[in-house]
Structure 1
Amino acid sequence: MKKLILLVSFITGLSLMAGAQITKKSPEQRAAHLTKALQKRLNLSQDQATQVHTVFLTEVTRMDSLKSNPSSNKKANQLSAKSIKLEAKKQVIAVLNDSQNQKFAAWEKMRKEKHKQKQAQRDAEQG
């Protein structure tokens, strides 16, 4: 019995320590990650990558400030976040050429589908 309690407390301690090691990435790191993902999928030139990185850095910084200073109206926050994302998307599309825009649209569609699947899975688990 003592061994079982010791084992359970050891496993619980390990999981708590693992969770404590997860740190939030800085806006610069997140923008670099997004830029790298697009560069990989769309074969961006160096100039395009620099422009896209600037757009993503602006978007991430604005989203962080929105999250750190939320208004009392949740709907207004959601609309602000949506407008920030839409503005960034328009700026990214302006940087890309036609074939890259098609790949970007396909990639976004795939991401939305994955998101819907995960949401449906969460809903099924909860309800």
Structure 2
Amino acid sequence: MGADFRDFIEIVFENQENIIQSWHLDGYNFFVVGMDQGRWSNTSRNDYNLVDAVFRSTVQVYPKSWTAIYVALDNVGMWNIRNEFWVRRYLGEQFYLRVYSPVMSPRDEYPLPENALLCGQAVGKR
């Protein structure tokens, strides 16, 4: 998924299983703005805590519940959000977020090396 530098995004983790799931944003922090039992809906935003949200890098989502986070995209590059349940991690239960900047500067992000191996939709693109 792509996003723009210095934007805020909302991510909702919904757990319909009978285990506690933990999600980790590698190297960054986010604001936990809401959590509740049942399913998340648009009206759930009315109960978000936007005044003194908790600042974390890992969040737990309890069985049959949801947790909403806001992320400030303050670094350009590739971000990784992954499940901390070890079995799921090896199954690839993770998410990559690419944060773009309109300024192509090595100060913000190094360019992709010329000898990088590309696969899938990235083949032929630089």
Quickly name the TM-score band, shorter chain normalised: under 0.3
Q: Please give the TM-score of this superposition, normalised by the length of structure 2.
A: 0.23
Q: Relative contact order: is structure 1 or structure 2 higher (C-alpha 8 Å, sep ≥ 6)?
A: 2
Larger Rg: 1
Q: Please give the TM-score of this superposition, normalised by the length of structure 1.
A: 0.23
| Structure with greater helix share of residues | 1
